[in-house]
Every structure is written in C-alpha cells, then in structure tokens.
C-alpha cells in the first residue's frame, strides 16, 4: 500500500521543485508541484510556483488560471457586492470568459506598473461594445486618458458605487477572459502617449548632440515585489564612462537621495522636484522619454511606461524576476522595444550592466570593437561560439568513451585560449559555466524526449520536454550573444589577421 507523504516529506518535495525551477528543468518541477497539489490542495506556495512555472513555459491558459492563487494569498478575498431595488445585497458575478457583460466593472490590482502594463486590454473590450467602469489609482488617471478610450475612471482609494454593472473582473484576468492569442499581447504599441506641450518644454533641457540615456534604479520600497529588484545607483557608473553619453535621472522619491553621493554625480542630470510634481504620475517622465535615445531601468513602473510608449528600453532583472518576464532571455512578449538583462548572481549587477554598457558603446561608436582596441586575441569565430564548442566538448569528455582522449585534447587546447580571454574579461568565467550547465540540461531533455517517444501514454511529458528544449536552445543563443557583446567579437573576415591553433584544431576536427 502506498503511503501518503507527511508534512516534512512534502516540504522536501517542494524544496526539490524549487531547485528544479532554478535550474530551468520545468518539466520535472511541474510534475513535482502537481504531485504536491494532489496531496495537499491548500499548499499555496506550490500553487504559486506552479503558476510561475507555467508562465515560464508559456502555457498561458494553465498559467492564467493558476494565477488566481494571488487572491487566496490576500488577507481578504476580492468580491463586489451590489444592492438590488428592494435593498438586498448580493455578490456581483465575476466575468471569467465568454461573451463579456455589456457593462463591466474592472478592478485594478497590485502596483502602478501592473496597471500601465495591462490597461492595453481595456481597448479590445471597448471595441466589443462594453461599457467599462475602471477602479484604479487616481494618480494614473491622466496617463490612462491618453489612450483615448472611453472609460469611466473611479478612485480605488475611496469607497463608491456604480450602477448597472452585470459583472466584474480583475484587470490582470482580461487577456485570459477574452481568450487573446499571446502573440498579440505586444500589438498596438504605443497605447499611451506623451503630452506634446510637455514634450516640447522638457526637450529644451536635453541636448541633441549626445546619446541621452534615462536611468531609474529603485522601485517602491514597501512593495512585496521589491526584494532584490532595485540596484544601487553606483552600479550605473559604467554607463557614465562611455564617451558621448549623457545620463538623466528618472528616479522619483525613494532612491533619489543617492544622486549627491554617487561617483559620477557631475555626469548625471537631475530634473529635481519638478519631475511629475503635479500630483499625476509619469506625465513628465513620459514627455522626457520622447527626447531620450534609451531608457535603462530596474523592473519598475518606469519600465512599463517606456514600453507602453514604444520607447527603446533596457530592463534590468534580478536573478529570480517577476513572472511577467517569463523565461525569455532578452525579448519581452509585452513590449517589442524592450530588451531584458537578467542578473545571473543574486545582488551582482556587474554582468548585466556590462552588457548594457557594451550595447550603448556599440550604438555611440559603432566602429569601435575589441580588435581596434587591441585587447583581445584575434579569432575567426565569435567568442560566444567558442564557449558553445567548449560546453559541447566538456559534455563529451564526461560522457563519451571511444574518442575521449581526442576530445580531451581539443577541450584542453581550446580552454587554454579561452582562459587568456577570461583574464581580460572576468565575467566570461561564469558565462562559460552557465553555457556548460545549459548544454547538459539540453542533452538530458533530448535524451528524455527519445525515451518518451518510444513509450505510449507520455503525451504531456513529450510536450513538456519539447518546450524545455526550446527554452534551452533559446538560452544557448542568448549566452552566445551576451559573450559576444562583452568581448565585442565580430565575424567580419577582413578584420581577421591570425587564428589561434586551438581554434583551427577544433574547426578542423569538429565537435
């Protein structure tokens, strides 16, 4: 007879599931989390982690439905009460999908950034003839009105009543309720706009001949999502060192006090208390963004404003970022103009910031590369591809017997050349390790797929492994890109004068 795991064993299973998520092995994590939920349906942590795992796998319907766990984690479950003509009260039904009510009450939730991100989905409701009463942050009223969508805005900070609504929905559930194709989430950008008068006024304070970068480094300190999300202003120093670049602070409130003490304070323009001083949020920020070449920000509301405006934005993400950024390495399904820069080591922003700096330097001085600086060895392939070959050789050294001596020789020779480069760019050491771990995970997933294909009744496992393989391949491509950005490697043949013997050997023999 099979024994049901006790509380301690369930705790160990959950810890194992967390480990699998951290390693990117989402199929194993989902199996464990579903098993925990089958034993303990009230295990809220497992439910929350399951929703996150489904988002990372982009299994959208399952993820959106599981995401309702956020309400169970609240002290009071959200509900809307209505009063009938005879004075009796009853609960207004929640609209979960299908034909929307003719008059719908939409309830805001979470922070300002969530609102800016999801107000895009109010438009398709209005286009279907739905009258919307939107209860939201009153400081966002003027920004929301730039959408030019007929919506009745109500303050969420004060009690009130509306008449005639036949259903309600949380703002973040609209894409699921409408059954929208996730591929369309990024359509219609920009969906907010900046006031032309403000744009003109702020543009006078921004020079036109430099490469202008707006930066934001800290979010709301009392937000539940804040832990590890913000970074110190000093971390932006590599950007201030790039010739031709001017930095402009988009920081408001918390974190702004760092400006006076930072090492590059003279290179950072501070708009001061005049920024968004009128009681409405982000109106000046949006106007300033229209005169900037790039916005670089931590995962805060500023990132969503930039994305919603269609402005180029680099978003800095902590090691375990919020669910909305999925498992995509650099691109965002929400904002086509956004590029993601993920932290690889908790509390260490050096690598993502180095990537941002390299990207900006390439934009400002496109002809400047590692070869012209004379700092890195000259090679006939990119350093990212070298790392990929090293990872593949490392895997073969551990798993292949017949040609292990030959493979070991190739690996040792190539690693010797790689280490020379890593002495110049220390961040490469960690990236190579990450490439090797990803190669191992990809190989394991492909092996599992072959096994599942030979068996019957493994449909879910096959689909899961296919998704994992796609994620691992995407990560491999992103690791190559990140390494190439850091080393400024180029493939242009005319710039190649020499070729290390180790690279020639690998190219000749193959992997």
Based on the fold, state whether residues 201 and 348 are members of the same structural domain: yes
C-alpha to C-alpha distance for 308 and 311, rounded to whole angstroms: 8
Query: Alpha-carbon distance 431 to 398, whole Å?
Result: 20
One domain, residues 68 and 89: no
Interatomic CA distance for residues 35 and 76, integer angstroms: 28
Cα atoms in the Cβ-side hemisphere of radius 13 Å centred on 169: 25
Residue that finishes a domain, picked among 364, 380, 403:
364
DSSP 331: B
Whole-angstrom CA distances from 17 to 45, 50, 321, 323 are 11, 10, 17, 17
Q: What are the residues whose beta carbons fall under 8 Å from the beta carbon of 236, sequence distance 6 or more?
A: 215, 217, 247, 264, 296, 353
206 and 231 housed in the same domain: yes
Q: Does residue 191 form part of some domain?
A: no
> Does 375 lie in the same domain as 354?
no
Number of folded domains in the chain?
A: 4
Establish if 185 belongs to a structural domain.
Answer: no
User: Which residues partner with 270 through β-bridges?
Assistant: 249
CA distances from 83 to 69, 106, 165 (A): 28, 18, 11
Single out the residue in 180, 207, 236 at which a domain terminates. 180
- The tokens describing 282, both together, are 């982000």
CATH number at residue 171: 3.40.50
306 within some domain: yes
Q: Tell me: do 306 and 426 sit in the same domain.
A: no
The DSSP result for 172-199, as a single string, is GGHHHHHT--GGGTTTT---S---HHHH
Residue 205 CA from chain centroid, whole number: 31
Flag whether 2 is in a domain: no
Residues 336 and 474 in one domain: no
Which pLDDT value is given to residue 503?
39
Task: Please check whether residue 1 lies inside any domain of the structure.
Answer: no
**In this structure, are residues 283 and 304 in contact, taking their beta carbons and an 8 Å threshold?**
no
Dihedral pair phi/psi, residue 111, rounded to 5°:
-95, -175
Structure tokens at 6: 């006790």
Q: Which of 72, 90, 113 is the endpoint of a domain?
A: 72
Residue 189 lies in a domain: no
In terms of Cα–Cα distance, which of 431, 392, 202, 213 is closest to 311?
A: 213
Q: Is residue 187 part of a domain?
A: no
User: If DSSP codes are grouped into helix, strand and coil, which group holds residue 420?
Assistant: helix
Q: What is the pLDDT of residue 288?
A: 97
Task: Spell out the per-residue pLDDT of the chain, length 511, in tens.
Answer: 567 788 898 999 999 999 888 877 888 888 899 999 999 998 999 999 999 999 988 999 999 999 999 888 777 767 777 776 677 777 889 999 999 999 999 999 888 999 999 999 999 999 999 999 999 999 999 999 999 999 999 987 776 667 778 899 999 999 999 999 999 999 999 999 999 999 999 999 998 889 999 999 998 877 777 788 899 999 999 999 999 999 999 999 888 889 989 999 988 999 988 899 888 999 999 999 999 999 999 999 999 999 999 999 999 999 888 999 998 888 999 999 999 999 888 889 998 999 999 889 888 876 544 434 445 555 556 788 888 888 888 887 777 655 566 778 778 888 888 888 888 888 888 888 888 888 888 888 888 777 766 665 555 667 777 778 888 888 888 888 888 877 864 333 333 333 333 433 444 343 3
CB-based contact 389:511 (threshold 8 Å): yes
Domain enclosing residue 252, as ranges: 196-364
Residue 455 and residue 483 share a domain: yes
Same-domain pairing of 89 and 118 = yes
In a domain, 13, yes or no: yes
- Both 200 and 340 in one domain: the answer is yes
Q: Is the domain of 17 the same as that of 152?
A: no
Whether 338 and 206 map to the same domain: the answer is yes
d(CA 134, CA 136): 6
Query: What is d(CA 241, CA 92) in angstroms, rounded to the nearest whole number?
Result: 57
Residues 243 and 386 occupy one common structural domain: no
Provide the CATH number for the domain around residue 29: 1.25.40.10
CATH code, 220: 3.40.50.2000
What is the side-by-side strand order in the sheet with 338-342?
268-270, 245-249, 211-216, 294-298, 313-317, 338-342
Q: Give the SS3 label for residue 169.
A: strand
Name every residue whose Cβ is closer than 8 Å to that of residue 503 and which is 6 or more positions away in sequence.
379, 380, 381, 386, 414, 417
Tokens of 255: 């974190």
């Amino acid at each position: 007879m099979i024994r049901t795991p006790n509380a301690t064993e369930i705790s160990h299973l959950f810890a194992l599931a967390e480990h699998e998520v951290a390693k990117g092995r989402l199929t194993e994590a989902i199996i464990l989390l579903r098993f925990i939920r089958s034993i303990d349906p009230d295990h809220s942590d497992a439910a929350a982690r399951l929703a996150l795992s489904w988002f990372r796998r982009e299994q959208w319907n399952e993820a959106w439905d599981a995401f309702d766990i956020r309400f169970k984690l609240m002290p009071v479950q959200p509900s809307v009460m209505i009063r009938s003509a005879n004075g009796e009260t009853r609960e207004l039904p929640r609209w979960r999908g299908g034909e929307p009510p003719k008059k719908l009450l939409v309830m805001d939730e979470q922070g300002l950034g969530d609102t800016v991100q999801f107000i895009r989905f109010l438009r398709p409701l209005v286009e279907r003839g739905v009258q919307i009463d939107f209860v939201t942050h009153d400081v966002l009223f003027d920004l929301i009105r730039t959408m030019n969508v007929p919506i009745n805005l109500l303050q969420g900070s004060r009690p009130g009543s509306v008449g005639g609504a036949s259903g309600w929905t949380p703002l973040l559930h609209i894409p699921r309720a409408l059954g929208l194709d996730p591929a369309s989430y990024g359509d219609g950008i920009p969906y907010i706009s900046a006031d032309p008068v403000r744009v003109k006024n702020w543009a006078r304070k921004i020079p036109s001949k430099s490469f202008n970068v707006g930066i934001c480094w800290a979010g709301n300190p009392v937000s539940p999502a804040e832990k590890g999300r913000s970074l110190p202003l000093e971390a932006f120093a590599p950007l201030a060192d790039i010739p031709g670049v001017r930095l402009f602070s988009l920081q408001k409130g918390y974190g702004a006090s760092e400006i006076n003490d930072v090492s590059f304070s003279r290179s950072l323009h501070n708009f001061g208390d005049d920024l968004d001083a009128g009681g409405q949020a982000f109106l000046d920020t949006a106007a300033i963004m229209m005169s900037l070449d790039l916005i670089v920000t931590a995962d805060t509301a500023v990132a969503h404003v930039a994305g919603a405006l269609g402005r180029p934005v680099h978003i800095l993400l902590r090691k375990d970022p919020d669910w909305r950024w999925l498992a995509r390495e650099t691109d965002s399904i929400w904002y086509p103009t956004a590029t993601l820069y993920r932290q690889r080591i908790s509390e260490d922003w050096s690598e993502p910031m180095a990537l941002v700096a390299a990207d900006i330097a390439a934009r400002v001085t496109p002809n400047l590369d590692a070869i012209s600086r004379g700092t890195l060895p000259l090679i006939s392939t990119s350093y990212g591809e070298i790392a990929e070959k090293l990872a593949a050789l490392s895997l073969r050294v551990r798993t292949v017997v017949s040609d292990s001596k030959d493979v070991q020789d190739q690996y040792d020779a190539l690693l010797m050349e790689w280490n020379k480069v890593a002495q110049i760019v220390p961040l490469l050491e960690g990236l190579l390790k990450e490439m090797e771990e990803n190669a191992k995970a990809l190989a394991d997933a492909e092996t599992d797929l072959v096994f599942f294909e030979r068996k019957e009744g493994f449909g879910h496992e096959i689909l899961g492994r296919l998704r994992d393989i796609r994620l691992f391949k995407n990560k491999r491509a992103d690791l190559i890109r990140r390494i190439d950005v850091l080393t400024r490697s180029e493939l242009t043949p005319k710039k190649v004068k020499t070729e290390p013997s180790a690279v020639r050997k690998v190219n000749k023999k193959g992997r």
